[in-house]
């Protein structure tokens, strides 16, 4: 199983609350409506930052995380290069996120404690 983890930085025009509400209520439904997503994405998890200060740790850099699971890298590539994804989802991401400030990791799991 391949995980595509995106560290999200919200569009600065949105408050954290607006970002979370839109991401959960609008963007998730739009993303899941695309046939290639239904075909390739095995699991979709959203995580959103909460206000928490941890002693000795720097301030949080990201506003949330999206975790997408795929069978393989080819499925991931097919999803994000799909013409309908590019036409419908990418513009929505550009209004929701500061795409140039987001980071991502493509990975596999090593379970240490189940």
CATH number, residue 78? 3.30.70.100
pTM for this structure? 0.91
Q: Rounded to whole angstroms, how far apart are CA atoms 7 and 109?
A: 17
In a domain, 86, yes or no: yes
pLDDT tens column, 42-99: 999 999 999 887 888 888 899 999 999 999 999 999 999 999 999 999 999 999 999 9
In a domain, 37, yes or no: yes
Span 1-13, average pLDDT:
97
The structural domain count of the chain equals: 1
User: What is the residue range of 13's domain?
Assistant: 2-107
Predicted confidence at residue 59, as pLDDT, reads 86
Predicted confidence at residue 39, as pLDDT, reads 98
In a domain, 8, yes or no: yes
Name 48's bridge partners: 64
CB 106 within 8 A of CB 2: yes
Cβ atoms < 10 Å from Cβ of 25: 9
Span 16-45, average pLDDT:
98
């Amino acid at each position: 199983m391949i995980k595509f983890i995106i560290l999200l930085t919200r569009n600065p025009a949105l408050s954290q609350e607006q970002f979370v509400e839109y991401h959960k209520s609008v963007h998730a439904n739009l993303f899941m409506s695309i046939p290639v997503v239904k075909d390739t994405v095995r699991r979709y998890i959203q995580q959103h930052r909460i206000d928490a200060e941890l002693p000795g740790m720097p301030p949080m850099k990201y506003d949330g995380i999206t975790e997408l699971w795929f069978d393989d890298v080819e499925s991931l590539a097919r999803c994000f290069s799909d013409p309908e994804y590019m036409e419908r989802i990418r513009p929505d991401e550009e209004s929701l996120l500061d795409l140039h400030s987001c980071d991502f990791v493509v990975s596999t799991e090593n379970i240490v404690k189940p």
